[in-house]
């Protein structure tokens, strides 16, 4: 489901985030090969995603089906950190891998990035498709963790 709306607040964005994740899980079950390895999942998704900024003044939240098949940009897999996080969380949920969302930034009033962390061998590991490698993310002063319950 494609959803385009002017930015309102982080609370509103996270509520819509949840809607997009829920809409994405059935698609993820069919799209993502069954795996219990977040690292393998990262490399599969990395091959199918391309970073593209949101349009000016819009917080574009794309479900996984939109990101992969009916993309706003007309480029399958094109999106930004929130679109990638929606897809990664949906794939983790579909594969029963514990996952949580991390909202980060250097200013506590205005987060600038979102990614997820997945449990890998008993520890939370960054799963940030904006970065080049599994387990990496940039350092941020502020980090808020949102539990995922599906």
Check residue 98 and give its pLDDT.
Answer: 97
Which pLDDT band, with edges at 50, 70 and 90, does 16 fall under? confident
The tens digit of pLDDT for each residue in 22-62 reads 999 999 999 999 999 999 999 999 999 999 999 887 888 99
Residue 6 belongs to a domain with what CATH number?
Answer: 3.10.620
- Total number of domains constituting the chain: 1
Check residue 111 and give its pLDDT.
Answer: 83
Where in the sequence is the domain holding 72, given as residue range(s)?
A: 2-147
Is the pLDDT confidence value at 2 over 60? no
The tens digit of pLDDT for each residue in 79-131 reads 999 999 999 999 999 999 999 999 999 986 778 899 999 999 999 999 999 99
Per DSSP bridges, beta strands 142-147 and 99-105 are: antiparallel
Buried b (16+ CB within 10 A) or exposed e, 104-113: bbeeeeebeb
Check residue 72 and give its pLDDT.
Answer: 87
- Backbone φ and ψ for 39, nearest 5 degrees, come out as -65, -45
DSSP three-state, residue 48: coil
Check residue 92 and give its pLDDT.
Answer: 98
Is the pLDDT confidence value at 4 over 60? no
Check residue 66 and give its pLDDT.
Answer: 95
DSSP three-state, residue 68: helix
């Amino acid at each position: 489901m494609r959803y385009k709306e002017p930015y309102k607040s982080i609370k509103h964005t996270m509520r819509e985030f949840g809607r997009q994740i829920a809409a994405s899980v059935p698609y993820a079950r069919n799209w993502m090969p069954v795996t219990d390895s977040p690292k393998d999942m990262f490399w599969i998704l990395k091959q199918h995603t391309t970073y593209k900024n949101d349009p000016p003044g819009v917080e574009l939240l794309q479900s996984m089906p939109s990101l992969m098949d009916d993309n706003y940009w007309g480029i399958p897999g094109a999106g930004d950190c929130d679109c990638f996080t929606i897809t990664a969380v949906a794939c983790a949920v579909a594969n029963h891998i514990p996952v949580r969302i991390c909202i980060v930034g250097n200013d506590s009033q205005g987060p600038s990035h979102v990614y997820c962390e997945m449990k890998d061998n008993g520890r939370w590991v960054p799963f940030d498709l904006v970065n080049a490698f599994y387990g990496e993310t940039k350092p941020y002063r502020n980090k808020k963790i949102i539990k995922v319950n599906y």
